[in-house]
Amino acid sequence: MSALESLHIKNGAAMGTRNGASVPLNYNQPEAERVAMRKTILLTDYSHLGMAEISGEGAYELLNLMVAGDVGSIRDEQGMYTIILNDEGEIVSDVYILCDDERFIVMSEWLTGDAISEMMKHLLEQHGSEFEEIGHIGSLSNSVGVLHFEGPYSWELLAEMYGMDVLGLPFQEHMHVGDDEILFRAGEHGEYSYKLIANNDRLEAIWEQAVQTGEKYDMAVGGLDYQRDVRLENPCWEPDVFNDFSRCPIQLQMQWTVRYDKDQFKGKDALNSVLGRGVERRAVGFSIEGAAPADVARGDKVYVGESEIGVVITCGYSKDIGATVGRLLLNAAYAYADLDQYEVQTCSGRLNLKTTAVPIYRNFSFLINPSEHSYVDSSRPKHLLEQLEWQAAAKAKAEKELAEKELAAAQQAEAQRVQA
C-alpha cells in the first residue's frame, strides 16, 4: 500500500478500484466535491491512469500507427488527446500523449501501463523494420502517479505552489515543476484542469501541500465519483457507458480525434469504409427540463410520433442545469441539436425532450481570466460577473460624484448671482 493510499484511508475516503488501482471514490461529501469542481477547486487522486513511455528516433512513427491522431503534430512540452482503435475501427480507449524531451508518455484511464506498453511492443514486433531506432518501451505505472486539480481557480493554486509560469501554460501543454514533476493542462471537464505527474514517493507530500495551500481557495478533496455528474454535462469516452451501444468514433461524434490524412493507423481501413457508406446512427445530447432524476433510464426508446428513432445512451439529473441531461443514439436523419419534437418512453410514460449540442454545460471557468481575476486577492474581482458589477458600481459612483459637483457649481453660481 502506498503512502498516499494510506493517507486517503486515514482521512476517511471511500476507496475503490479503477483500472487496477486503488483510489478514492469519494470523501463522503459528494455535493461539496461537485460544487468545488464547478466553483473553486477539486483535488483528486488520478493514480488509476495507466502510463507508459517510448523513446527513440522512431517513437512517434510507432505511436502514429497505434493511435488515430497525428503524433507528428506535437513538439516538446506539448500534448494531445486522441483514441486507439482496433482493426474494426472501434474505440479501444482514449489516450493523452505527451511529448517530453526525448520520449513520449501515453496515458489512459481505461488501459494499464502494462497494457499500453504491450500494445507498443506488439506493433514493434509486427512493423519493426519500418521504423528508425526505438529506444525504450515500458510501463510507468509502478513508479509514478497522478494528482488531478480541476476547477476554475486551480491555476491560481498551482501558481502559488509552482510559480507564475503556470498562468501562461497553454491548453494541452505541460511543464516541469517542483522536484521534476510534470504539470499538464488537460482541460478534461473544464477550461482549467491539470494533471500533476510525480514519483509515487512524492505524491503524499504534494497532496498534503496542496490541501494546506488550498484552504484559502475553499478547495475540496474528493474521489472519482464526481465524474458521473460532470461527464453527463461534458462527455468524454467511457467504455462502461458506450460499449453497449456503439464504439464507432463517427457515430459517437468523436471523429475530431482522428486524422484521416495519415498514411496508416490501426483501424483506418475499417473507418474509411464506414465513412464511405455512412453511419445509420449518431450521438447527440439531450435535456428534459424539470424531469425527475429517476424518470429516464439507459436503454429507453426515443420516438418521433409513433416511429422509434433511437435510444438513450446515458442520462442523469444535472443540478447545475436543473434538468435531466445525457446523450442519445439517434437515426442519423434525426441526430441534430435544438430539436424539440422527440419523446422518450420512460417507465412512467412519455416525456418530451430537446436535443442539444455537447458539451451541454457551459463551464463557469469561461468567466475567469487569470490576468484579471483572483479568488484570494480582494483587490481583484473573482470573475467576469463580479467585474461587471464593480464596473457598474464605479460608473454609478462617478456619475453621482459628477452630478453632485455640477449641482454644487450651479448652487454656487446662483448664490453669486443673488449677491450681485
How far separated are the first and last CA of the chain, in Å rounded?
Answer: 94
> For residues 271 and 258, what is the distance between their CA atoms, to the nearest angstrom?
10
Residue 142: all three cell numbers together: 509502478
Among residues 221, 139, 227, the alpha carbon closest in space to that of 190 is found at 227
Say what the pLDDT of residue 294 is: 73
Q: Which amino acid is at 273?
A: S
Omega before 359 cis (within 30°)? yes
Say what the pLDDT of residue 279 is: 94
Among residues 224, 274, 288, 226, the alpha carbon closest in space to that of 246 is found at 274
The pLDDT tens digits along the chain (420 residues) read: 889 999 999 999 999 999 999 999 999 888 899 999 999 999 999 999 999 999 998 899 999 999 999 999 999 999 999 999 999 999 999 999 999 999 999 999 999 999 999 999 999 998 877 777 888 999 998 999 999 999 999 999 999 999 999 999 999 999 999 999 999 999 878 789 999 999 999 999 999 999 999 999 999 999 999 998 888 888 889 999 999 999 999 999 999 999 999 989 999 999 999 999 999 999 999 999 877 767 899 999 999 999 999 999 999 998 888 899 999 999 999 999 999 999 999 988 999 999 999 888 878 888 999 999 999 999 999 999 999 999 999 999 999 999 999 888 888 887 888 887
For β-strands 91-100 and 103-108, DSSP reports them as antiparallel
Say what the pLDDT of residue 89 is: 96
For the residues of 24-36, what is the DSSP string, one character each? EEE-S-HHHHHHH
Confirm if 53 and 140 have CB atoms less than 8 A apart. Answer: yes
DSSP 173: B
Round the CA-based radius of gyration of the chain to a whole number and report it.
Answer: 26
| Residue 190 exposed, middle or buried by CB count within 10 Å (0-12, 13-18, 19+) | buried
Among residues 237, 266, 234, 243, the alpha carbon closest in space to that of 93 is found at 237
Confirm if 344 and 314 have CB atoms less than 8 A apart. Answer: no
Say what the pLDDT of residue 395 is: 94
Say what the pLDDT of residue 41 is: 97
Q: 337 to each of 151, 287, 355, how far by Cα in Å?
A: 27, 11, 5
Q: Using alpha carbons only, give the angle 359, 365, 369 rounded to the nearest 5 degrees.
A: 135
Distance of CA 337 to the CA centre of its chain: 22
Q: 370 to each of 148, 159, 218, how far by Cα in Å?
A: 19, 10, 17
Is the domain spanning 236-356 CATH 2.40.30.110? The answer is yes
Say what the pLDDT of residue 273 is: 94
Q: What is the architecture, at CATH level 2, of domain 3-229? A: 2-Layer Sandwich (3.30)
